[in-house]
Amino acid sequence: MDQFRTFNPGEIIFRQGDAGDVAYLIREGEVAIQRQDGDEERVLATLRPGDLFGEMAVIDERPRSATARAVTYTVAMVISAGQFNDRMENLDPLIGNLLQMFMQRLGGGTMVNRSAAGVANEQAESSLRQRAIAKMQQEVELTQALERQEFVLFYQPIIDLDLDEVAGFEALIRWRRPDGRIVPPIDFIEVAEETSLIIPLGKWVLEEAMAGLNRLQRRLDAAGGKRRLFMGINVAARQFGDSDFPRQVASALSESGCEPKRIKLEITENALVRDADQAATQMTACRELGCQVALDDFGTGYSSFGYLARFPIDTMKIDRSFVQDMLTQRRSTAIVRGICGIAKGLEVPLVAEGIETPDHVTALRAMGCEYGQGFLFSRPVGEADAGEYLINYGHK
Ligand code: C2E
Ligand code: CA
Ligand code: CA
């Protein structure tokens, strides 16, 4: 849907101070970028086919910083802010950050007639810049943390509510900093996901969680337990979308010797909305390896039902926000009941997250929910504690 505009020689394309809603890519002709300097119009640049102009105002939503005038008959492609933002979003985030910083520096450096608005803009720029820098620093730190093996997996038991037994665990990542401070995933997964770091980090999680499952299973076996445990492993959208992901899963499986059906890859609807066809391919590949796929945080995304119809999900997890409100808010009760009904209809096992009280268990059991997970049973704990919990469960 490319859109072109033509300009006659001398025609003004936009004026300094205009609101900037589109950028232009020159196909044909010549454009002068000029600025009012006192009484004089100073030409800053003369642009030719292939040159892009007007993009700054589109990106930072500020008024045009200069005037653009067609020197000759000109044909230019119009790029809307939406198209531009889509492209920016699809850029590698590191490049995006660098580009943004670069443009801010450029914008700040050539700003003329600093008004109060200019100063406010500068402050906004500097906080944007600081955020960009902080993000890059975090990325470097996380890369080092991975090299130095500072990440650990905690495990939270998932209880079979019918049999009242530990059915499996969910692996939850933590960053143990050299000073002993434990950093929760909410503080770093997003940055890892915005950069390619999630790929090696996610690969480590797969390998470590499978090794952890083997050790926990051995511990249960040694204590005379009969149950075959499963392990829920969180997979970020970016990681799930990586074409190499199924191969990573396959190699972690063969290295650990884990039974594939004991592995539940937990993905959220985010992983499905990005590119539904590709997600379907990835999901099929994972299921062909024998792994299960769980839909995490069910109810918080959108068009959940469409995804349920289209994707072969093996397990659903009800988001903890519904569970936590289900005893006090009728709407949440209805939603949980509804999800239980859907799971039953689809014959898909259901895990309720965020169980904090015995009343939650009673209510969920009555609704036919099979599995539960939450602080009532145990917080996520280190592997040794998870092992203790496992063999002591039911003997307390
Ligand atoms: P999640 O997958 O929804 O994981 C469940 C979160 O709920 C965990 O937070 C867990 O500690 C918390 N939780 C469990 N029971 C309760 C409860 O009864 N009450 C309350 N208030 N919270 C409960 P955590 O460990 O901080 O993890 C947060 C999120 O970080 C996870 O949400 C998941 O999206 C992400 N995450 C964790 N580990 C990994 C990982 O290895 N890879 C990726 N990609 N993401 C991970
Ligand atoms: Ca999860
Ligand atoms: Ca969840």
* pLDDT, tens digit (0-9, with 9 covering 90-100), for 178-208: 999 999 999 999 989 988 899 999 999 999 9
Cα of 48 vs centre of ligand 1, distance in Å, is: 53
Q: What share of the chain is helix, strand, coil (3-state, %, to 5)?
A: 45, 25, 30
The pair of three-digit structure tokens given for residue 148, joined into one six-digit string: 């130095």
**Cβ 189 under 6 angstroms from ligand 1:** yes
CA distances in angstroms from 220 to 214, 351, 386, 391, listed in the order given:
10, 22, 11, 6
Contact 144, 192 (CB under 8 A): no
Cβ 320 under 6 angstroms from ligand 1: yes
Separation of 33 CA from ligand 1 center, angstroms? 52
Per-residue model confidence as pLDDT tens digits over 138-188: 887 898 899 999 999 999 999 999 999 999 999 999 999 999 999 999 999
- Tell me, using a 6 A CB cutoff, whether residue 17 lines ligand 1: no
Q: Whose CA is nearest to atom 34 of ligand 1?
A: 234
Q: Residue 3: what pLDDT?
A: 78
- Of 195, 188, 209, give the one whose Cα is nearest residue 238: 195
pLDDT at residue 87, rounded to an integer: 67
Task: Find out whether the beta carbon of 193 lies less than 6 Å from any atom of ligand 1.
Answer: no
Q: Among 159, 174, 189, say which to mutate for ligand 1: greatest number of ligand atoms within 8 Å of CB.
A: 189
Q: What is the pLDDT along the chain (396 residues), one digit of tens a residue?
A: 457 899 999 999 999 999 888 889 888 999 999 998 888 888 988 999 878 888 777 767 778 989 999 999 999 988 877 776 666 666 777 777 776 666 665 554 333 333 445 555 555 555 665 666 667 678 878 988 999 999 999 999 999 999 999 999 999 999 999 999 999 999 999 989 988 899 999 999 999 999 999 999 999 999 999 999 999 999 999 999 999 999 999 999 999 999 999 999 999 988 888 788 999 999 999 999 999 999 999 888 765 677 888 888 999 999 999 999 999 999 889 999 999 999 999 999 999 999 999 999 999 999 999 999 999 999 999 999 999 999 999 765
Measured from the alpha carbon of residue 267, the closest ligand is 2
Q: How far apart are CA 37 and CA 66, in angstroms?
A: 11
Cα separation of 390 and 165, whole Å?
9
Helix residue spans in 267-310 (DSSP H): 270-273, 276-288, 304-310
Residue nearest to atom 14 of ligand 1 (CA): 374
DSSP element (H, E) containing 317: strand 315-318
**pLDDT number for residue 221:** 97
Find all residues with CB under 8 Å of 67, minimum gap 6, and list them. Answer: 12, 14, 15, 16, 33, 34, 35, 36, 41
pLDDT of residue 108: 44
Q: What is the CA radius of gyration of the chain?
A: 27
For ligand 1, whether the C-beta of 319 sits within 6 Å is: no
For residue 187 and ligand 1, the question of a CB distance below 6 A is answered with no
Beta bridge partners of 33: 45, 68
Regarding the beta carbon of 294 and ligand 1, being less than 6 Å apart is answered no
Q: Residue whose CA is closest, atom 43 of ligand 1?
A: 234
Q: Which residues surround ligand 3, an ion (CB under 5 A)?
A: 296-297
What is the pLDDT at residue 112?
34
- Nearest CA residue ID for atom 21, ligand 1: 354
Q: What is the pLDDT of residue 36?
A: 84
Q: What is the pLDDT of residue 177?
A: 93
- Label the pairing between strands 52-53 and 22-28: antiparallel
Quick check: CB of 234 below 6 Å from ligand 1? yes
**pLDDT score at 115:** 45
Which among 353, 357, 360, 375 is the best mutation to test ligand 1's pocket, defined by most ligand atoms within 8 Å of the CB?
353
Nearest-atom number in ligand 1 for the CA of 153 is 41
pLDDT at 11: 96
306 vs 241, 269, 300, 303, 310, CA distance in Å?
19, 11, 14, 5, 6
- According to the model, what pLDDT value does residue 394 have? 76
Say yes or no: CB of residue 139 within 6 Å of ligand 1.
no
